[in-house]
Structure 1
Amino acid sequence: MEGAGADVLCFGHTHQPYHRILPAEDGYYRHAINIGSVGKPKDKDPGGGYVLLHINENSSVKDKNSLQVEFIRFAYDIEKAAQAIESSPLPNEYADMLRKG
């Protein structure tokens, strides 16, 4: 984040939704936000997930609370997705991961 000059980084890959506030030098704060996933969840919740970022009107990198992260979960047809995996060349374990969360 520092090398890119970014104060907020949103990413996925680990399928674990979280928000970390990272203190930087000179009293600044950076935000690392994992948005979660739709499919192959690793947090015991089989629903889909996304994030809404709420940025205060007077946002400042010196105020760690000027960015709020809201994790939204939603239902989708997990069984249909799991059956599609089982009908594909993908390993059936992926279908089980969807079902179990």
Structure 2
Amino acid sequence: MKLALLSDIHANVQAFDACLAHARALGAEQYALLGDLVGYGADPAAVVERAQDLAEGGALLIKGNHDAMAVLPPADVNTVGESTAAWTHAQLDASQRQFLDGLPLTLQQRTILLVHASVDDPGLWRYVYDQRAATASLDAAATLPEVRYVFGGHVHMQSLYYRGAGAGLMKFMPTPGVAVPVPRHRHWLATIGSVGQPRDGNPQAMYALFDTDKLQLAFQRVSYDHQAAATAIRQAGLPAFFADRLELGR
């Protein structure tokens, strides 16, 4: 089975649609959305509606920090990430907010564990941005029966960590479109990047495709109309900074 892993869509419907189409063309049979459906972007309702349709079809979904903020916006805005929460909340209807609120923080499917941030207390939204943080997350996952693969997002970058013969973790930088063997005798942790707001200097959307039969993981980059997504942000009256990010990929 080919499992498409998509995270950090951030209300970018143009990028979301492009990644879904790309995954289908590559034979994706199942979908997993790893949090932050909303936040930053101009089309939260459209993205949540697509996510609800996928969920009805059997897709796996978990909650991200921006999803939580859209349900209950902070009273005081202290970070850039919090600045669109109240606006996003107003764009969603009650059933969409209820849908986001009901999403779990983690979800295990046999050897696979899905999490938005770190398995080590996922509600604290810790970033898995280096080997130390990846070790803490993978150590927490190791207490769960069967888990060999941890897939997450949150950091908006694509990376792959694995535990080799020793106790330490090794980091592997993937090449887009090139399948990486991920055998079950090792433990793996991947941050799959951001569909809707990449931050590595490349505006192309990110996602990953896991072949559960061949045990291969392929990180993908997808071109989409990021100018249209940026224009939609400006027209919605949201901070231009978020539009600039889409155009620059950072």
TM-score normalized by structure 2? 0.33
Match of 1:73 among 191, 203, 221: 221
Opposite residue 15 of structure 1, the aligned amino acid is: H
SS in 2 for 1:39: coil
Opposite residue 3 of structure 1, the aligned amino acid is: T
Alpha-carbon distance, 1:74 to partner? 0.9
Q: Is it true that 1:46 corresponds to 2:187 in the alignment?
A: no
Q: Is it true that 1:2 corresponds to 2:142 in the alignment?
A: yes
TM-score normalized by structure 1? 0.76
Partner of 2:153: 12
Alpha-carbon distance, 1:17 to partner? 0.7
Kept after mapping to 1: 8 A contact 2:197/2:205: no
Alpha-carbon distance, 1:40 to partner? 1.7
CA separation in 2, counterparts of 1:4 and 1:82?
41
Partner of 2:162: 21
**Deviation per CA, 1:31-88, whole angstroms, max 9, x where unpaired?**
101111122211111111111123455xxxxxxxxx4321111111100000111122
Partner of 1:32: 189
Opposite residue 162 of structure 2, the aligned amino acid is: I
CA separation in 2, counterparts of 1:15 and 1:8?
19
* Higher percent of residues as helix: 2
- Give the direction of change, closer, same or farther, for the CA distance of 1:21–1:83 in structure 2 (3 Å limit): same
Alpha-carbon distance, 1:22 to partner? 2.2
5+ residue gaps, structure 2: 1-140, 168-184
**Deviation per CA, 1:4-30, whole angstroms, max 9, x where unpaired?**
33210111111001111124889x521
Opposite residue 154 of structure 2, the aligned amino acid is: H
- Give the direction of change, closer, same or farther, for the CA distance of 1:49–1:35 in structure 2 (3 Å limit): same
* Higher percent of residues as strand: 1
Kept after mapping to 2: 8 A contact 1:9/1:32: yes
State the aligned residue count.
91
CA separation in 2, counterparts of 1:4 and 1:94?
38
Kept after mapping to 2: 8 A contact 1:39/1:46: no
Kept after mapping to 1: 8 A contact 2:207/2:220: yes
CA RMSD of aligned residues (A): 2.3
Alpha-carbon distance, 1:98 to partner? 0.4
Percent identity between the two aligned chains: 33
Q: Is it true that 1:99 corresponds to 2:239 in the alignment?
A: no
SS in 1 for 2:200: coil
